[in-house]
Chain A
Amino acid sequence: GGIITQTPKFLIGQEGQKLTLKCQQNFNHDTMYWYRQDSGKGLRLIYYSITENDLQKGDLSEGYDASREKKSSFSLTVTSAQKNEMAVFLCASSIQGGERLFFGHGTKLSVL
């Protein structure tokens, strides 16, 4: 089996700050995803990547950048944190074309 590691587990930022979340997987999966989970809302896709150096926008990409420099890692940057923003960011991976996603435990973001 494999594992997806997200760092940090908790992230506290200031309004307007640029914040970076990291994700590592050892499944050797081709495709990686970033989802945002808000209380009372479904998971929403921010970015995904089908291979190293590939980036595809999801439904919620505005306000975010992503980077996939290695097959095993996928990072997400909040370009300007919004005051009182609070959400959990989930990283996931799958085989190429696969429908079964394997998730990390998430990074919980709070913006003061």
Chain B
Amino acid sequence: QEKVQQSPESLIVPEGAMVSLNCSFSDSASQSIWWYQQHPGKGPKALISIFSNGNKKEGRLTVYLNRASLHVSLHIKDSQPSDSAVYLCAVSMVLQQGTGSKLSFGKGAKLTVSP
């Protein structure tokens, strides 16, 4: 079973700061790695994904993947109070029956952006 570890567990930053979240996974045969955002009382919402080594940028978000070290990171530029949420790292694995993919989630990182 895929193991997904996230760090830090929580962080508090001032508005405008750069935020960095880390995630390590155990299986190099994994497919894409996803980052989800979850606000209190809501379901997780997909933010960004990456499959190939390197980086991918979408707006204020940049994700870096290093498959050799089994590590992925999410960086949020110019953080806003509305970014305050739990961020979940999820690793996709192909199901044995070939029926699709299964996501294994980390425990999450709670981000608080103070005005």
Contact = CB atoms under 8 A, between A and B. Distances in A.
Interface residues of B, number: 26
A105 B41 contact: yes
Interface residues of A, number: 28
Nearest to A31: B100
Contacts of A92: 43
Interface stretch (B12-20, B44-52, B76-84): B44-52
A108 B106 CA distance: 20
A17 interface: no
5 contacts: A45-B103, A96-B100, A103-B44, A104-B43, A105-B43
Contact of B32 (A4, A45, A99): A99
A106 B38 CA distance: 11
Interface of B: 1, 4, 31-32, 34, 41-46, 49, 88, 92, 95, 97, 99-108
Interface of A is mostly: loop
A50 B102 CA distance: 11
A2 interface: no
A40 interface: yes
Interface string A75-88: 00000000000000
A90 B44 contact: yes
A4 B88 contact: no
Interface in A97-112: 97-106
A94 B43 contact: no
